[in-house]
Amino acid sequence: MGFGIRRQTGDAVTYILQYRHDGRRRMVTIGRHGSPWTPDTARDEALRLLGEVVRGGDPAADKKARRTALENTISDLCDRYVEEVEAGRLLTRRRVPKKATTLATDRSRIECHIKPLLGRIPVVSLTRHDVERAMHQIAEGKTHKRIKLARRHALSNVRGGVGTASRTIGLLGAIITYAVRLGLRPDNPVHQVVRHADNRKERRLSTEEYARLGEALVAAEDDGAWGHALAAIRFLALTGWRRGEVLGLRWSEVDLVRRTARLTDTKTGPSMRPLAEPACVILRAMPRGEFVFQAKFGDAAMADIVRPWAKVVKIAGFTDVTPHTLRHSLASVAADLNFGDAAIGALLGHKGHGITRRYIHSADAVLLSAADTVAREIAAMMCVAMQRDHPDHPDHPDQNTVLNGRDGQGGHLGHGDQAARPGGADHVQQAARHQEA
């Protein structure tokens, strides 16, 4: 035990230190004889290391950890992070596993941006400067490329940009936090980086654009677009739901009698939503099966609406409208009709505003009235095209019904008097707050 030398094969001599830690014999290599290690310098290093042992340290374990850290690159760390997320061992801030769609987005950002720019850097060596440089490169489009996908003729166009840079660095921050938990490094340099503002576009449709959307939906159907996809787009416009919520909607979650949908898995957890009458018209026309909006082949959910949506926006002449625009537009229309945050949040399923209590089985009447009022306002702006779709459908609202209710006498409140009557905006806001209490 103590300071010594070791010779294995050949003439090389290595200085070593042997010691005990927690009752176990340990050995740490100081270095080979020669510059800089001489008997005197090696003995001084051995004394320093023995001082660490006296203070409870383990120089051999520390040296191994440093070597392991240098061998672990950002690319290796990303692979390990994805593996842990896939296994459900890393949870979100809501203490639930990440959704498959979120994980797919994370994989894309890792493979397209993080690995190409930072993958070879050892985890322990990553600096704030490295992160900032990568962020600026992504924002400037340095990682732009086209990737061939598994599906025939399918391509992914990786563009980069400021928004992508901000969200990718946010993901990198989570990955490095995971590295800190593993003990691969003591700090997270991403926390020191000032990211770009996300600059998410809060685009909304105008009255004239809603009319163009309705006309484009009819024209797309005449042009052979898949009818279920177009119905899903109409449903998006009338409800403001998230795209994934609509495409994954099951008939088991829909109660047309109570005009209520109980969504079991959303971005904010289980959520109950009121179904406006114009939205119910769309649902009643859909065939029964497991999923409401079915794919072309078999009783399966549609994977996406990319192609039908692209056709619709092209016909409508839109250049900056996405399916999420329909969600923001509905919220804006509701605000224009004097509904407050509580009511709008209940309609959209925002966190903290949804009707998610286990003992509540149907939407409140005043929230249904709110959903009807907002959806009828939107339907009125798309009305000409909607009437053309199913002109003989007995449940399809005409313009008077869309605006004033099915009996034409204000049985369902029109948008002009919602604040003054018992089912008005103020009452809806109070009901929404009551549901949250």
What are the tens digits of pLDDT across the range 402-411? 333 333 333 3
Q: Based on the domain organization, do 297 and 374 belong to the same domain?
A: yes
- Considering the domain architecture, whether residues 9 and 122 belong to the same structural domain is answered as no
- 219 and 84 in one domain? no
Q: How far apart are CA 149 and CA 136, in angstroms?
A: 27
Q: What are the Cα distances from residue 316, in Å, to 142, 240, 343? A: 32, 19, 30
Cα separations (Å) of 147 from 111, 143, 305, 341? 11, 12, 20, 41
Give yes or no: residues 150 and 295 share one domain.
no
Q: At 404, list the tokens.
A: 């004033």
Q: Is residue 197 part of a domain?
A: no
Q: Same domain for 37 and 83?
A: no
> What's the pLDDT score for residue 397?
43
In tens, the pLDDT along 19-65 reads 999 889 999 999 999 878 999 999 999 999 999 999 999 999 888 87
Claim to verify: residue 326 and residue 235 sit in the same structural domain: yes
Confidence at residue 45, expressed as pLDDT on a 0 to 100 scale: 92
Residue 398's domain comprises: 207-436
- Integer Cα distance of 397 and 405 in angstroms: 9
pLDDT of residue 363: 67
What pLDDT score was predicted for residue 154?
62
Q: Answer yes or no: are the C-beta atoms of 299 and 288 closer than 8 Å.
A: no
pLDDT for 430 equals 45
Final residue in a domain of this structure, among 15, 32, 58 = 58
Together in a domain, 132 and 229: no
113 lies in the same domain as 231: no
Q: What is the pLDDT of residue 155?
A: 66
In whole angstroms, what separates CA 290 from the centre of its chain?
25
CB of 17 within 8 A of CB of 50? yes
- Quick check: is 64 in a domain? no
Percentage of the chain lying above the pLDDT 90 cut: 60
Give the bridge partners for 369, in sequence order.
none
309 part of a folded domain? yes
HSE-up of residue 216 (Cα within 13 Å, Cβ side): 20
* Same domain membership, residue 172 and residue 212: no
Measured distance CA(50)–CA(332) in Å, rounded: 70
- Per-residue pLDDT, 437: 40
Both 52 and 149 in one domain: the answer is no
Show the low-confidence residues of the chain (pLDDT under 70): 69, 149-155, 198-201, 352-363, 384-437
Quick one: 383 and 273 in the same domain? Answer: yes
> Do 171 and 77 meet the contact criterion of CB atoms below 8 Å apart?
no
What does the alpha-carbon distance between residue 361 and residue 89 come to, in Å, rounded to a whole number?
A: 32
Q: What is the pLDDT of residue 172?
A: 97
d(CA 128, CA 132): 6
97 & 218 share domain? no
What mean pLDDT is reported for the chain?
A: 83
Q: How many domains does the chain have?
A: 3
